[in-house]
Structure 1
Amino acid sequence: MGRGEIQQAHRPDGSTTAFAELNAAAALAAAQLPAAWLLWWVVEVTGSDDYGIGYGGAFGLVCLFLFAPLILPVLGLLHAAAHIGPAGALARLAANRLRGPRWAWHLLCATAVGAVWAALTAVLWGRPFIHTAAAAAALGVLPVLGLAYGRGRARETGQVWRAWSVWLRSALLSAALFMLVIVVAVPATVMGLIEEYEPPKLPAERLAGVWRGEDGAVLRLHSGGGAQVSKLPTQSESGDWYPDPIDMCDGTGSWSPGEQGGRDAVLVRLDGGCGRDTYWTIGGTEHEPELFVLFGDPDAADLRILKRTS
């Protein structure tokens, strides 16, 4: 009998108590979260506009290392209780009544339960259903297959792991998965397999139109070069970063294509002495373009975004 292992009674299918199953599922679910988060971060940072603010998510990466031992067990338990556990109960019923291996039913049921949670988040918070359901299905694979391995091992040897032994293996597995993502993601980014974000190239005729912000700001760019604004944030006349670098302006002015920080932008000049000339950088995508500007300290900037209205 290996270190950290104990002889325990188990069911004919290899499963043990409900607590042992939940504990193992939580450990397996927690093991994959750092690697999953890192993969998401690489894709998100590489493929989306960071608007030139902050540290590109590096601060979140530092927090992950510092607080992972405290946060991961809780997140793993929540994942197991809300996703893997209910799917396992459904899989046991299906395997008892229908043909097929229990692990296959567990995967299918985990996908179904994940779809239910994806639908709920889509209704409550507007999250994209397909992406959320796919992520939930992917996050269910390792816990389900890990539990299946544990049941098979119990059937063959009559041994199951102690509660803390499962978490020790979870920590080692988590580190291995994290390193695997680094080894795969970095070359993939360098080779261009993960597509990098490119701001859209908008000609003057596409820049003309109405742009609106969430705080009620309106910027109307006329095709002849004129501009009308309402509650539009601009760099203050003082030019100071502190305490308030923004003037909110109403009125008319002019605009012209320009460049800011190596990116295409729109230079807005207002009449009447309200605010200074302000560059609005072009961002977003070809189908959903945006104009944005940063006010204040670049490390803690006030980001304002305008979106094109149809």
Structure 2
Amino acid sequence: MAQSTVERERTTPGGPERVGGAGWTAVWLTGAVALAAEGVLALVVYFLAGLRDEYYLAAGVPAYVGYLFVSVVVMVLLGLAGLICSAAVVLPVVQLSRWSARKRGRPETARWCLAVCGTVAATAALCIGVPTALFGGGWTALPLVLLVAFVGLVPAVLCSRAVTVLRRTGARFGLAAGVLGCGLALSAVVFVGGLAAYGTGLIQEYEPPRLTKTQLVGVWSDDQGGTLTLRADGTAVADELGVHDADTATSGEAHEHCDGSGSWSKGAAPDGTSQLALDVTDCRAVSSWQFGGTEEQPTLFHWIGDPDSLKRHILHRGAPAQ
């Protein structure tokens, strides 16, 4: 029986070399850095795509220090998530690929590994997408989970599988470092390329709508039932319009309201963009409103407290919902 087993192993097509404890540590680290690099790339793409939507960034040294701190925290979290997901997902998939190929008596090739990744991704899509659809989430979750799982698995699993092919321990850990370096380099290239595309106008960055006086005429309301009516003759009427002072700036909720009538005009903000200049009795605390939103769904807003807080009081076009 032992002789038969030896003969069967000799006739089985070759595959990746067996790896020991240090080798599997390299496999684990390679999967972790690949997943972390994928996370960095996804965040870069998400950030660049977000520049097409309405956004506001705080400025100044404290804000920049905060951004740096958040970036470091995110990188640490991505690294920890990569280590956990590599042990929980990538290593089992690599083992499953090797085991299933051995069971079928065939070499464990990259193509076979891709097929296993596809099977695992399809299983995840069924386990997550079907319950989501049945509970009202829509069947679009099924292909979405399949795509995300497959795209997320393949690079990490293939890179980890490549470690099992190498014979020397140093080369295995070197591959892990190379995967990390290539992933970060790709993210940097995408980031710089995206900024260049926005800078040259190849991709249009978000810009506030350029509202005309005719477009400003009408009723504007906030989410607390207050309204601001702008008339074509330049008069304005405020009804229960929310007012924020120094005490309410931190909470973002207006506990005071202003009523009255006055005038309005279209003026220029300090940064050169257009804004609404409002001169209404008892509402002089909110005398200037900037334009936001889109051409189809414009908004008027003013900053609550320091603009670096990014808190805004927003008015939407139309009467408040009943």
- TM-score under structure 1 length normalisation: 0.65
CA distance in 2, matches of 1:191, 1:111: 41
2:153 maps to 1:148: no
1:267/1:277 contact within 8 Å kept: no
Letter matched to residue 291 of structure 1: L
In structure 2, the CA distance between the partners of 1:32 and 1:82, relative to structure 1 (3 Å rule), is same
In structure 2, the CA distance between the partners of 1:88 and 1:66, relative to structure 1 (3 Å rule), is same
State which of 177, 181, 192 in structure 1 corresponds to 2:201: 192
Q: Which residue of 2 aligns with 1:284?
A: 293
Q: Once the two structures are superposed, what CA deviation does each residue of 1:7-60 show, in whole Å capped at 9, x if it has no partner?
A: xxxx9764979x86665433211123233323332332x323334644698556
CA distance in 2, matches of 1:145, 1:280: 48
In structure 2, the CA distance between the partners of 1:283 and 1:89, relative to structure 1 (3 Å rule), is farther
CA distance in 2, matches of 1:227, 1:34: 49
Q: Which moved more, 1:109-118 or 1:282-291?
A: 109-118
In structure 2, the CA distance between the partners of 1:102 and 1:59, relative to structure 1 (3 Å rule), is same
Q: Which moved more, 1:281-290 or 1:136-145?
A: 136-145
What is the correspondence of 1:78-97 to structure 2 with a 5 Å cutoff? 80=86
2:35/2:156 contact within 8 Å kept: no
Q: Which moved more, 1:193-202 or 1:101-110?
A: 101-110
Q: Which residue of 2 aligns with 1:257?
A: 266
The alpha carbon displacement at 1:270 in A equals: 2.4
Give identity over the alignment, percent: 22
State which of 196, 221, 227 in structure 2 corresponds to 1:219: 227
The alpha carbon displacement at 1:221 in A equals: 1.7
What is the correspondence of 1:195-274 to structure 2 with a 5 Å cutoff? 195-214=204-223, 216-224=224-232, 225-233=235-243, 248-254=256-262, 255-261=264-270, 262-271=272-281, 273-274=282-283
The alpha carbon displacement at 1:109 in A equals: 5.2
Considering fraction of residues, name the structure with more strand. 1
CA distance in 2, matches of 1:59, 1:120: 43
Letter matched to residue 290 of structure 2: T
2:90/2:156 contact within 8 Å kept: no
The count of residues paired between Structure 1 and Structure 2 equals 283
Q: Superposition RMSD on alpha carbons, in Å?
A: 4.8
1:90/1:106 contact within 8 Å kept: no
2:44 maps to 1:38: yes
2:54 maps to 1:49: yes
Q: Which residue of 2 aligns with 1:308?
A: 317
In structure 2, the CA distance between the partners of 1:42 and 1:207, relative to structure 1 (3 Å rule), is same
Letter matched to residue 221 of structure 1: T
Letter matched to residue 288 of structure 2: Y
Q: Which residue of 2 aligns with 1:239?
A: none
2:243/2:286 contact within 8 Å kept: no
Query: Could you list the runs of 5+ residues in structure 1 that have no partner in the other structure?
Result: 1-10, 237-241
1:249/1:275 contact within 8 Å kept: no
The alpha carbon displacement at 1:304 in A equals: 1.7
CA distance in 1, matches of 2:305, 2:225: 18
Q: Secondary structure at the match of 1:196?
A: coil
CA distance in 1, matches of 2:220, 2:134: 27
The alpha carbon displacement at 1:61 in A equals: 4.5
State which of 95, 103, 109 in structure 1 corresponds to 2:114: 103
CA distance in 1, matches of 2:131, 2:222: 28
1:13/1:151 contact within 8 Å kept: no
2:34/2:159 contact within 8 Å kept: no
In structure 2, the CA distance between the partners of 1:170 and 1:309, relative to structure 1 (3 Å rule), is farther
Q: Secondary structure at the match of 1:276?
A: helix
In structure 2, the CA distance between the partners of 1:298 and 1:150, relative to structure 1 (3 Å rule), is closer
1:90/1:109 contact within 8 Å kept: no
Q: Secondary structure at the match of 1:251?
A: strand
- TM-score under structure 2 length normalisation: 0.63
2:163/2:172 contact within 8 Å kept: no
The alpha carbon displacement at 1:73 in A equals: 1.8
2:44/2:187 contact within 8 Å kept: yes
2:243/2:258 contact within 8 Å kept: no
Letter matched to residue 157 of structure 2: L
The alpha carbon displacement at 1:178 in A equals: 3.2
2:217/2:231 contact within 8 Å kept: yes
In structure 2, the CA distance between the partners of 1:28 and 1:204, relative to structure 1 (3 Å rule), is same
Q: Which residue of 2 aligns with 1:4?
A: none
